[in-house]
Amino acid sequence: MLEWLFLLLPVAAAYGWFMGSNSERQKALKGKASVSKNLASGLNFLLTDQEDKAIEQLLQLLDIEVATIDTYLALANLFRRRGDWDKAIRIHEKLCQQKLPKPQAQKIRFELAKDYFHAGLYDRAEPLLADLVQAESIREAVIKQLFQLYLATHEWHKGLDFRAVVEQTDSRSLRIGLANFQCEAWQQQPDTNAEQFQQLAERYPQALRPRYEAARRYLDQGQGSAARPLLLSILQQRPQWAAELLPLVAQSQPAASDWQALLTQLSQKNKNITATSMLAEAYLLQQLPEQAEKLLTDKLKQQPNIRLFQKFIQLRLRQSEGEVAAQLSQIEQMVQAYLETKVLYHCRNCGFKTKQPYWLCPSCKQWETVEPLPGIDGR
C-alpha cells in the first residue's frame, strides 16, 4: 500500500502544478477581459460625446495596464489641441502618479506643464519646467517652453537667468531668443548704450537685433562710422533686409564709391529690388539718365517687379511734359495704390503675413523669423 502512495506523489505534484498555472492563466485572462471591457466602454463613451465618463472609465485602466500610457498621452494631447485643458490635466496628473522609468516620468511632467501653460496656470507650469531643465533628453524643449511662459508674462529677467543653460546647448533659436530677451529688458532702461548692444551682438552673432539696436544708437549719437560695419554685417547675413537697412547705411554717410559698389553688388549678386532702385537714383544724381533707364529696363526683363516698374515710370515722368506727363502720373498713382494694398513681410516659420516688421512673430511666437516678402511685389 505504501508503495502505491509513493507512486502517486509525482502524479499529485503534477496535478497541483497544472491547476496552479491554470488558475494564474484564468486570472490573467480575466484581467485582460476586464481591461478590454473597460477600454471598450471608455471608447463607447467617447463616441457618444460623453467625454467626462469616458475619461473616468479610461483612467481606471491605469491601475491595471501601464503599457497603454502612450495611448493616454495621445488622448491628452488631443484634448489640449482642442482646448479642453482640464481634461488633459486630469489625464496627465493621473499618469504622474504611476511608477514609471525616469525618462518617461519626466516626459509626462513636461506634458503636464504644457497643459498648465495653455490653461493660463503659469504659477503651476513654471516650477515644473524649472525642475525639468536638467533633464538632458528634453532640455531644449523645456527651455523653449519656459521662454514662451516668460514671453507671456514679460518677465525678461527670468529668462536671462537661464543664460548658462542655454549656452550649454547647440540651439541657434534659443540663443536668438536669449539675445532678444536681453534687448527687451534693455528697452525698459533708457540709459542702455550702443556699446552694451554691441557686446551682446558679439556674444550672440546668430541674432540680428543686437547689431541693429547698436547701429541705431550709434547713428543717434552721430557716429556713422561705428554704425556702418554693424549694418553691413546684417546685410551680408540677410540681404533681403536691404529695404530697411540701406536708408540707415546712407545715413551713416559712406564714401560715394563705397555706396555705389554696395548698391551694385546687392543689385547684381543678390537681385535686390531696393538696391536696384537706389542705384538708378544714384545714376540720376550723376546726370546719367540713360544709364539709369538701361539698368531698370534690363532688370525688368530679367526680374519682373511692380516696384521697379513704378521706378521706371517715375524716371520717364521726369523727362516728360504736358499730356504724356499727366498720363504717366495717373499710371504711377494707380501703381502706388496697388502697392499700398500689398503685405510686405511674412514669417518663414509659420507663413504669417503683415504690413509691418516684428522681431517676434505674433502668430508662432518665434524670434527674428518675420522677413520681407520676395516676388513680383517684393522690395
Q: What 3 state SS string does 295-326 have?
A: HHHHHHHHCCCHHHHHHHHHHHHHCCCHHHHH
- What is the spatial order of strands in the sheet that 345-347 belongs to? 353-354, 345-347, 370-372
Residue with cell 534693455: 186
Residue among 376, 372, 375, 377 nearest 242 (CA): 372
Alpha carbon distance 197, 210 (integer Å): 5
- Each of the 379 residues of the chain gets a pLDDT tens digit; together they read 444 444 444 544 554 554 555 555 555 444 444 545 555 555 555 555 555 566 655 666 555 455 677 777 888 888 888 888 888 888 888 888 888 888 888 999 999 999 999 999 999 999 999 999 988 889 999 999 999 999 999 999 999 999 999 988 889 999 999 999 999 999 888 788 999 999 999 999 999 999 999 999 999 999 999 999 999 999 999 999 999 999 999 999 999 999 999 999 999 998 999 999 999 999 998 999 899 999 999 999 999 999 999 999 988 888 888 888 888 899 999 999 999 999 999 999 999 999 999 999 999 999 999 999 888 888 8
Helical H segments across the chain, by residue range: 2-47, 51-60, 69-82, 85-96, 102-118, 122-132, 139-153, 156-160, 163-166, 172-187, 194-203, 209-220, 224-237, 242-251, 256-268, 273-285, 289-302, 306-318, 322-340
Residue 367: strand, helix, or coil: strand
pTM for this one?
A: 0.79
Cell of 169: 546647448
Cβ count near 146 (within 10 Å):
23
State the pLDDT at residue 61.
58
- Dihedral over Cα of 98, 100, 105, 107: its sign: negative
Residue 345: strand, helix, or coil: strand
Cell of 348: 518663414
Count Cα atoms within 13 angstroms, Cβ side, for 139.
Answer: 15
At 48, give phi and psi (nearest 5°). -100, 20
Alpha carbon distance 208, 216 (integer Å): 13
E strands, 287-352, are: 345-347
Residue 100: strand, helix, or coil: coil
Architecture of the domain defined by 342-379? Single Sheet (2.20)
Q: What 3 state SS string does 112-136 have?
A: HHHHHHHCCCHHHHHHHHHHHCCCH
Residue 329 is classified by DSSP as H
What Rg do the C-alpha atoms of the chain give, in angstroms? 33
Query: Can you give the residue ranges of every domain in the chain?
Result: 255-328, 342-379
* 44: Cβ contacts below 8 Å, ≥ 6 apart: none
379 close to 364: Cβ distance less than 8 angstroms: no
Query: Rounded to the nearest 10 degrees, what angle do helices 85-96 and 51-60 cross at?
Result: 10
Report how far apart, in Å, the C-alpha atoms of 289 and of each of 34, 294, 324, 327 are: 88, 9, 18, 21
Residue 203: strand, helix, or coil: helix
Cell of 313: 515710370
159 close to 150: Cβ distance less than 8 angstroms: yes
Angle at 366 between CA 365 and CA 372, to 5 degrees: 110
| Residue 218 amino acid letter | Y
At 114, give phi and psi (nearest 5°). -65, -35
Alpha carbon distance 329, 318 (integer Å): 10
Alpha carbon distance 90, 57 (integer Å): 13
Alpha carbon distance 89, 128 (integer Å): 13
